[in-house]
Structure 1
Amino acid sequence: MSNGTDEPGRSRPTLSLAMPIYNGDRFLAEALDSIRAQDFPDWRLLICDNASTDRTEVIAKEYCALDERISYVRHEHNLGAARNHNYGFHHTDGDYFAWVHGDNVYLPTYFSRCLAELRAHPEASCAHTVAVDIDVDGARTHRWDEQLRASHDDVALRFRDLTEQDHMCFAWFGVVNRDLLAQTSLHASFDSADRLEIVELALRGPIRLIDEELFLHREHPGRIMRQAPTARSRYLILDPAWRGRIPFPVLNIGKQYALAVLRAPLSTKDKVRCLLQLRGWLRTNWARILRTLARGAYEYAKLAVRGTR
């Protein structure tokens, strides 16, 4: 079993997978079975355990013994979901990369189809498939068809749809070229970091959606969005260092979108065109921005009052 880095003498895989997990024993075996059943064999998976207190470690080690392509590392303490995701990227080295979660199911051709799509479209930044929700028993409940123009040739249209529309971020589970992903923020330590990551990819190339239902997305009470339904509560799950600080979630993601455009390898003309698309984001979010400002001002006022006592 690996300690979280590729072992000396082992060849570099085509595809590296990283599974950040915390107390995910309920669905872990099913997720790992689906990965082992892939028709594309040249992958290696690193399970990154964020100091789980359930049977996650036991199950992960059982699968390490079953399949030498699977390795496991357990952190001594909970790093926060963001750092745990990024640990998986930095401690793998395949030419292509994908994050996988321990509650989802990947049908046997998921990764081979994504890789084939990327090879057929070298201008693309990411490839993923249609997502279907499943419940705790694995029954299909909903097929997602969000009509995003993430694969459009026009970068400004891609940017507009991915910032303005409230989408499910399924491209987060797609396959990407490692070198391209390394140019982005990876998993930043704030709410909506998955949206930012997808935007950063789209600024570097179209995101290809394969019209096949190969990704089964598990809806269950243990998901972060269910445990922490507000942006502020999710900040703490993503990064414990936010405890005691006052975030401005909506303002922050708007700022990050703008910075992502400025960092992207685009012409000045395309950068301006993308930044102008943020007008739609402002129209959609102006009420949330005002609420964020009001709440932040109130919390700072409370801190000031306490400081004078």
Structure 2
Amino acid sequence: MMPEKSPRLSIGLPVYNGEKFLPDALDSLLNQTFTDFELIISDNASTDNTEAICLAYAAQDQRIRYYRNQENIGCARNFNLVFELSNTEYFKWAAHDDLHDPDFIRKCIEILDKDPSFILCSSQVSFIDEQGEFLQHYNVHIKADSPKKYERCHELLVKHLCYPIYGVIRSDALRKVPPMGSFGNADGIFLLRLGLVGKFYEIPEYLFFARTHPEQSMSMFFPGFLSVTDKNTQYSEGVFPDFYAYTVWWDSSKKGKILFPHWRMFWEYVISIYRVQMNLHEYLRCAISLYLKLKGNEPLLIKDLLKASQKIWQSWHYIPLKTDESNAELAASVQD
């Protein structure tokens, strides 16, 4: 008997307590005009009806592979796990609450098949509400299609919401970068590292629909994310997400620990650039872009040191920490 042919694409869907939007997301993926894929679902020990929904869909569609973690392993580990479980030419992450145009995957695959120099293909993005109704277009378009690494680096250092991570990606390119980290802006730094491997292509059509709702991480830790509609590279505390809470969301084991999220991001940006083989001119151009990215962030680095000093001081004197950690506590309860 001839072995069964492997699909060309794996779609990885990490989920935790996604019963509200999961059926629509699954229908959106299973009804794609490109059908040569498997759908890998990793349920992060959900406590709602997620498991029953996934099992019902898996019974009806043989393309679905459903896994359930015995305990919640954290968002980052679950995100990485769905890729580890794949072994196909192309890979795509999907969220349990977003929707896709029926032609999204087909059009992405066509671009990647046509030009091997592109390692990731995504589309323009629209925001939808809880009912799936249109809210607004997302107008930050990542043009990381330059053959020059330092130009792609500069593009991926601007302020954006990381939606290209939900595009179709060459699996061999993904294996050239470290797995998703468990720290603030881990997805943005992951995309930067991937962009230093190869070019991105953005289809000039709105084929991806990002749902906004109160239970998602951005709504909880970055309430003003819908205002991110330009490429202003200047950051300040007023336009940053709560990266303390985000760190716990990525990895709940960090709850209650002394954190330096902004220093961690600074370090990760630096090593992302210097781990790539480039000539001196390219390194200098990337370093200039990084300086422009980080310019004005000094107060955030100081804030890390002050918060750590306060926590150490209060622990020495057995004084309960009185800063508001409700976001961090909430983060630990919503791991994908």
String of CA shifts for 1:258-283, please: whole Å, max 9, x gaps: 11112224334323321232110221
Letter in 2 for 1:216: F
Query: Which of 286, 294, 301 pairs up with 1:282?
Result: 294
Match of 1:57 in 2: 51
TM-score (structure 1 length as normaliser): 0.91
Q: Aligned-pair distance for 1:217?
A: 0.5
Letter in 2 for 1:199: L
- How do 1:69-84 residues align onto structure 2 when only pairs under 5 Å count? 69-84=63-78
Contact map agreement 1:204 1:265 (CA 8 A) in 2? no
Letter in 2 for 1:190: F
1:154 aligns with 2:148: yes
Structure 1 SS opposite 2:245:
helix
Give the distance between the partners of 2:170 and 2:301, measured in 1 at CA.
35
Contact map agreement 1:94 1:178 (CA 8 A) in 2? yes
Q: Over aligned residue pairs, what C-alpha RMSD do you find?
A: 1.7
Q: 1:40 to 1:265 in 2, by over 3 A?
A: farther
Contact map agreement 2:124 2:141 (CA 8 A) in 1? no
Deviates most, 146-155 or 192-201? 146-155
Runs (4+) of structure 1 moved beyond 6 Å? none
Structure 2 SS opposite 1:44:
strand
Give the distance between the partners of 2:141 and 2:175, measured in 1 at CA.
28
Deviates most, 112-121 or 21-30? 112-121
Contact map agreement 2:123 2:208 (CA 8 A) in 1? yes
String of CA shifts for 1:124-150, please: whole Å, max 9, x gaps: 221100010000011111111214332
Give the distance between the partners of 2:66 and 2:132, measured in 1 at CA.
26
Matched pairs, number: 298
1:294 aligns with 2:306: yes
Letter in 2 for 1:100: A
Match of 1:266 in 2: 278
1:221 aligns with 2:190: no
Give the distance between the partners of 2:110 and 2:172, measured in 1 at CA.
18
Give the distance between the partners of 1:149 and 1:29, measured in 2 at CA.
32
1:113 aligns with 2:125: no
Letter in 1 for 2:173: L
1:236 aligns with 2:230: no
TM-score (structure 2 length as normaliser): 0.84
Match of 1:167 in 2: 160
1:254 aligns with 2:248: no
Q: 1:55 to 1:152 in 2, by over 3 A?
A: same
String of CA shifts for 1:83-114, please: whole Å, max 9, x gaps: 00111010111111011011000111111111
Contact map agreement 2:156 2:192 (CA 8 A) in 1? yes
Deviates most, 153-162 or 10-19? 153-162
Give the distance between the partners of 2:37 and 2:269, measured in 1 at CA.
32
- How do 1:21-32 residues align onto structure 2 when only pairs under 5 Å count? 21-32=15-26
Match of 1:144 in 2: 138
Give the distance between the partners of 1:158 and 1:300, measured in 2 at CA.
40
Give the distance between the partners of 1:293 and 1:154, measured in 2 at CA.
37
1:101 aligns with 2:95: yes
5+ unaligned residues in a row in structure 1: which ranges?
Answer: 1-8
Letter in 2 for 1:181: L
Give the distance between the partners of 1:149 and 1:302, measured in 2 at CA.
47
